[in-house]
Homo-oligomer: A and B are copies of this chain.
């Protein structure tokens, strides 16, 4: 019930504001004896780090993670893992001008309505800065999954559309993803996105994006229907990311336009194991993984913080306008890639432990 708690067996609770002294999270339920060090986490934090290109926010954060508990002699102990990331480049002054105004498309209005107070500095709790905690926790989830299921599992994401310009799926090459500032798997689309984003910035505007996350190498059986279905939990995980407005599994909304015989993935045997002839299901049937690739797509709205003036009101109900200064991503979806991967890892790790508890036979040692 905890508002800031994710998962059921492998749980993480997140805390911290954009301009407070630090942000962090606590992971409870990690199995013991999993090798874990700060570098394992830092690698993923660095992929999300702001300021790496002109297409992300210019805020400079080292985003250095410290492990404060739960690891001893280089391995997890089964006790809570506390992760701590200092905020080093908080410039609260940038936000004085929005202290009493609600930025359209932002959580300013709703936090004030709900809590009767809001930390206006950098969005406070509602800032995308919190996603650093998710990436850190996701890195731990990966280690746990690799420890249990082997090194061959993969959790990868890519941007597949920016501002309505989609990649060509025939060009898909995972190796490209970390070679361009957009996490694009299609090298050919990169110049188009550069042009579109440069134009948007010049016009004081911003663009949306679609991200695709793929998990491969995972066994059939993950998911806990009828409520905690794997796809249901993935939908929640992804929709809880800032700026996400849509989530789909496999064929997703297009499945509603297919005929039954097109959509149902037919099955043959191949190399002695079941082999699906297609994957419209996105690797999930009845809320349980099939053993195929698990495929999720999520839609990010365009950044709401815009340098151009928009109509709004202040907290006393006066009509006014606002143009947001500060340092913002012109397309928040881009840095959503490592975050979406993290949410996939966290969800799969939780469901792996749940599956193990309920369904995996255990032979007790004598």
Report if A93 contacts B (CB, 8 A).
no
Within 8 A of B (CB), among A236-278: 236-240, 242, 245-253, 255-261, 263-269, 272, 274, 277
Indicate which residue in B119, B264, B300, B355 contacts A114 across the interface (CB closer than 8 Å): B355
Q: Is A341 an interface residue (CB 8 A)?
A: no
Nearest CB to that of A221 among chain B residues? B114
Contacts of A306 in B (CB 8 A): 260-261, 264
For residue A227, CB closer than 8 A to chain B, the reply is yes
- When the two chains form their complex, are residues B311 and A277 in contact, meaning their CB atoms are under 8 A apart? yes
Chain B residues with CB under 8 Å of A281's CB are: 105
A23, A29, A364 — which one has the most chain B CB atoms within 10 A of its CB? A29
Mask, A303-320, CB within 8 Å of B = 1, is 110101011110001110
Instruction: Tell me, in angstroms, the Cα distance from A220 to B286 when the chains sit together.
Output: 34
Q: Which residues of B contact A209 (CB under 8 A)?
A: 256
**How many identical chains are in the complex?**
4
Contacting pair B224 A235 (CB below 8 A): no
Query: Contacts A267-B312, A274-B109, A288-B107; is A3 near B26 (CB within 8 Å)?
Result: no
- In chain A, positions 276-307 with a C-beta closer than 8 Å to chain B are 277, 280-282, 284-291, 299-304, 306
A333 adjacent to B210 (CB under 8 Å) = no
**A213-234 interface bits toward B, Cβ cutoff 8 Å, 1 = contact, 0 = none:** 0000001111111111101111
Check B250–A245 contact: CB distance below 8 A.
yes
Q: Cα distance A289–B291 when bound, in Å?
A: 37
Q: Which residues of B contact A163 (CB under 8 A)?
A: 257, 259
Quick one: CB contact mask for A47-67 with B, threshold 8 Å, 1 for yes? Answer: 000000000000000000010
Question: Which of B26, B235, B250, B261 is in CB contact (< 8 Å) with A235?
Answer: B235
Chain B residues, CB < 8 A from A212: none
A208 → chain B closest CB, angstroms: 4
CB closest chain-B residue, reference A126: B286
Complex interface: stretch among A13-21, A36-44, A175-183, A186-194:
A13-21
Partner of A33, one of B24, B115, B246, B272: B115
Q: A362 at interface (Cβ–Cβ under 8 A)?
A: yes
Partner of A286, one of B107, B200, B207, B264: B107
Distance, CA A77 to CA B17, complexed state (A): 11
The reply to whether B285 and A107 contact each other, CB–CB distance below 8 Å, is yes
Please name 11 further chain A to chain B contacts, defined as beta carbons within 8 Å, in addition to the given A14-B227, A15-B69, A266-B311, sorted by A numbering.
Answer: A4-B79, A32-B115, A72-B119, A77-B119, A111-B288, A205-B260, A209-B256, A245-B255, A260-B306, A264-B306, A269-B317
